Amino acid sequence: MTTDAHELTENHIQRLEQEFLGSAENRVAMNAVTTSGYLAAATNRNAALRHQHTFSHLVRTPTVTNQKQSGRCWLFAGLNLLRLNVRESLGLEQFELSQNYLTFYDKLEKANYFLLNICRTRDEPVDGRLVSWLLADPVPDAGQWDMFTGLVEKYGIVPRDVMPETWHSGRTRSMNELLSERLRYAAAQLLERTSGNDSVVIGDALADVYRLLAIHLGTPPRKFLWEWRNTKGEFFRDGIVTPREFLQRHCTHDLREYICLIHAPSPDKPFDTAYTVEYLGNMAGGRPVIYVNQNIEVLKQAAIDSIVSGEPVWFGCDVGKSIHRELGILDTELFDEPFRATGRDTFSKSQRLTYGHGKMTHAMLLTGVDLDENGRPIQWRVENSWGDKGGDKGYLRMSDAWFTEHVYEITVNKRVLEPEICEIAQQEPVVLPPWDPMGALA
């Protein structure tokens, strides 16, 4: 059969129009959506009403943070987890760690990592898939859990007041464009060998990157005076400390004890197997990104056990699916027919991964779970980083069905996992190509 047989004709378009307008349901849907918008017209009232912000198990957390117009959710979620431990150490009710501080070093490390990878791929064609993939986004905002822990272990942490947000830390687009331009220029020099040796080209580029970052974000502190009053009004002083000393004094988390579990039910990724992704990282010599692929029920039970023990769970998901931001609800049944695409219910998670309709796009914290009388999860409480508008002052509610379909990764302490899973994490991982769905950055 030739492709001409499938050309859209006037008769075909007329037939489609007649079929659409011949349905009263379609006409009502068109009138509602064109007048009031998809969310207002399609929201399933019963699905929305069954979401009460009450949970059988809850981790006490402070007010939500706000990443604004940036893709730093993974840093915010990671620091939101650590700040609970630091907050307890300091005796404070409300407290934030500096996201801007880690943003600065993440960008600097990513710039160096990008340039080294360009050198590694010198024998590849510039217009080939690999180099094109590297050049597409040299210093993205996004990241992964192992990238976060590498930054914390190397650079420590500081309170938000020590290096607060700037205009550009919350609006990163123009800064990223400048950084990308400089790094792509350096890539051209490296690949075309038009200027000096590799060390000179990389050194000059990194000096420019540091300059641009300092202009946009400020310079990160190497030491700072830290003193505070706790909620009882008692005064304390650490004196002059480095960011790593602050981490060691006020955060007891051993980040090496955490394991990333993924749920990638694809034919090419058997469960009970460790995976990594080639060129996925932010730091030369940093921790490799390691995933252990497990059944979704394993992820849920590990998340439950962690929350019940009093610790939130960092997780990665496809946040754009079945979400009502104003109501703060994530639910697969949230939008009624005929507003849902035909075939949506039969488009499996495996197929969404394979055909480009599913991947990790956002990281948040699970801070609560509502269990039924049999210990099965009904809904989950989510700490987001989009500010306090929407949901319960910025906290979201997630149905358990949404967890099944759109959560791809969680990070938990080894103590809530079976020894066999921990052993898998120590095995030599299967290496996936950079463009694999599991290479997506949250």
DSSP 348-371: -HHHHHHTTS----EEEEEEEEEE
Q: Which of 250, 263, 362, 406 is catalytic?
A: 362
H helices of 285-384, in order, are 296-308, 349-354
Secondary structure class of 53 (helix, strand, coil): coil
Active site residue 324: no
Residue tagged 């960092």 (tokens): 314
Active site residue 216: no
H helices of 68-197, in order, are 73-90, 99-120, 129-136, 145-155, 173-192
Active site residue 26: no
Alpha carbons 168 and 165: distance in angstroms, whole number:
8
Within 8 A by CB and 6+ apart from 343, the residues are none
Secondary structure class of 398 (helix, strand, coil): strand
Q: Is the peptide bond before 437 cis (omega within 30 degrees of 0)?
A: no
Q: What is the DSSP letter of 409?
A: E
DSSP 113-144: HHHHHHHHTTTS-TTSHHHHHHHH-SS-S---
Q: Which of 100, 176, 384, 413 is catalytic?
A: 384
* Residue 324, phi then psi, degrees to nearest 5: -120, 105
Alpha carbons 235 and 358: distance in angstroms, whole number:
50
Tokens of 176: 């990223």
Assign 3-state DSSP to the chain and report helix, strand, coil percentages, each to 5.
45, 20, 40
State how beta strands 291-293 and 313-317 pair.
unpaired
> Of 390, 389, 408, 407, which is closest to residue 399 (Cα–Cα)?
407
Q: Which of 73, 251, 260, 317 is catalytic?
A: 73
Q: Annotated catalytic sites, by residue?
A: 73, 362, 384
